[in-house]
Amino acid sequence: EKGGWSSFMAKEVAEQPEAVANTIRGRVQGDQVVIPELDGLDDLFTGIRRVIITACGTASYAALVGKYAIEQWARVPVDVELAHEFRYRDPVIGDDTLVVSISQSGETMDTLMAVKYARERGARTLSVCNTQGATIPRESDAVVYTHAGPEVAVASTKAFSAQITALLLLGLHMGRVRGSLDASAADVVAELQELPEKVAQVLADETEHVSQLAGWMADTRSVLFLGRHVGYPIALEGALKLKEISYIHAEGFAAGELKHGPIALIEPGQPVFVIVPSPRHSALIHSKVVSNIQEIRARGARVIVVAEEGDAAVLPYADEVIRIPLASPLLEPLLAVVPLQIFAMALATAKGLDVDQPRNLAKSVTVE
Ligand code: F6R
């Protein structure tokens, strides 16, 4: 039930601190990640030479964040493949390949077919799923459940946060098993425990601000989203949420692609969200994104930045600044996505749309 909320989506966005906390619970021992469901399955991770993460839609954006996490901690190459593209060519997979599928419902036909195909080719399979006993986990060698609780709204929100959380845990678990973690991993494990509170802080601090912003933009016809590193999948997710529930044209780009084409789209008044990576992690990446902001601003874009608290470098060029708390690079997506979800929801509401039941979409796509 919706409780006191105006929509399931509003309720599920608000439940994200819990979704993250419940997904972490029971999977941290001291300063290490130990996922009990993977007990005795070390050989899934030790004998492999590559990982392919396969999924559709929002889950495929969580997969892109997972790629960064698994490569960083488990030191194994990771590719992300849309499930519906995966088996319609002749992919190079075998028993040295771990195919990780991600699905909220566990019933998405495209993803299920990709998993079956991978198994037939001899790959090892692991499912990240939110629905106990669903078809995809049953068809996989192993499963790591996300514990977001049932997601009713068609547009995925808390399941996405739980998927990213599970992939961070999987990366740290794999890294431990493979012996590839460095000393900084223990700090990240400690920081995981603070995540639910940080997500709650973004909700508390930015819901009203971002909703107001959306209210002013109800007539907007197109919104662009830029991000770099793990901010890139968040840009893609911000754009998808807006398309799905507010029927506004939206596109996400890797910020570095701007000058290779998309900058031609910028005209005066064009709203552009920019996910700014923390300057504490890489001054170079941060400065590159700030110069992207300058470039679009010089062409008249209306720039809305999502930046960490205290990042003053963005102030001279931003029309609006949305703040997120400080976090490690791979944890930032969990904070940056929240204002984008709120924005899409508020804009759809301002247009008088039903955010839970967008046109033409079903919660679970059980046909190919
Ligand atoms: C977007 C959305 C879809 C799903 C996709 C995969 O808000 O909900 O893009 O993420 O259809 O669904 P699952 O995760 O159930 O396989």
**Ligand 1 atom at minimum distance from 157 CA:** 7
**Ligand 1 atom at minimum distance from 111 CA:** 16
Name residues whose C-beta falls within 8 Å of residue 136's C-beta, 6 or more positions apart in sequence: 101, 103, 106, 107, 108, 111, 112, 115, 127, 129
Tell me which residues of the chain have a pLDDT lower than 50: none
Among candidates 123, 118, 167, which has minimal Cα distance to 144? 167
Q: What is the distance between the alpha carbons of residues 313 and 98, in angstroms, rounded to a whole number?
A: 41
Evaluate whether 302 touches 272 at the Cβ level (below 8 Å).
Answer: yes
Q: What is the distance between the alpha carbons of residues 322 and 308, in angstroms, rounded to a whole number?
A: 8
Helices 332-350, 231-246: inter-axial angle, 10-degree rounding:
20
pLDDT of residue 213: 96
Residue whose CA lies nearest to ligand 1 atom number 7: 155
**Ligand 1 atom at minimum distance from 364 CA:** 15
Q: How does pLDDT run across 203-233, given as a tens digit for each residue?
A: 999 999 999 999 999 899 999 999 999 999 9
**Spacing, Cα 84 to ligand 1 middle (Å):** 13
ipTM topping 0.85? yes
Residues classed as catalytic: 363
Residue whose CA lies nearest to ligand 1 atom number 9: 57
CB 364 less than 6 A from any atom of ligand 1: yes
DSSP 8-state assignment for residue 276: P
Residue whose CA lies nearest to ligand 1 atom number 5: 57
**Spacing, Cα 57 to ligand 1 middle (Å):** 5
**Spacing, Cα 7 to ligand 1 middle (Å):** 18
Placement of tokens 């046909």 in the chain: 367
pLDDT of residue 362: 85
**Spacing, Cα 364 to ligand 1 middle (Å):** 7
pTM over 0.80: yes
What does R_g of the chain's alpha carbons equal in angstroms?
Answer: 20
Instruction: Provide the token pair at 321.
Output: 């600044």
Name residues whose C-beta falls within 8 Å of residue 354's C-beta, 6 or more positions apart in sequence: 7
Q: What is the distance between the alpha carbons of residues 183 and 356, in angstroms, rounded to a whole number?
A: 44
CB 111 less than 6 A from any atom of ligand 1: yes
**Spacing, Cα 156 to ligand 1 middle (Å):** 6
pLDDT of residue 76: 98
CB 108 less than 6 A from any atom of ligand 1: yes
Residue among 156, 158, 243, 361 to mutate when testing ligand 1 (max atoms within 8 A of CB): 156
**Spacing, Cα 59 to ligand 1 middle (Å):** 6
Residue whose CA lies nearest to ligand 1 atom number 10: 58
pLDDT of residue 28: 98
pLDDT of residue 88: 87
CB 16 less than 6 A from any atom of ligand 1: no
CB 127 less than 6 A from any atom of ligand 1: no
Evaluate whether 119 touches 125 at the Cβ level (below 8 Å).
Answer: yes
Residue among 7, 13, 58, 355 to mutate when testing ligand 1 (max atoms within 8 A of CB): 58
| 262-266 contacts, C-beta under 8 A, 24 or more apart | 262/224, 263/295, 263/296, 263/299, 265/222, 265/224, 266/224, 266/296, 266/299, 266/300, 266/301
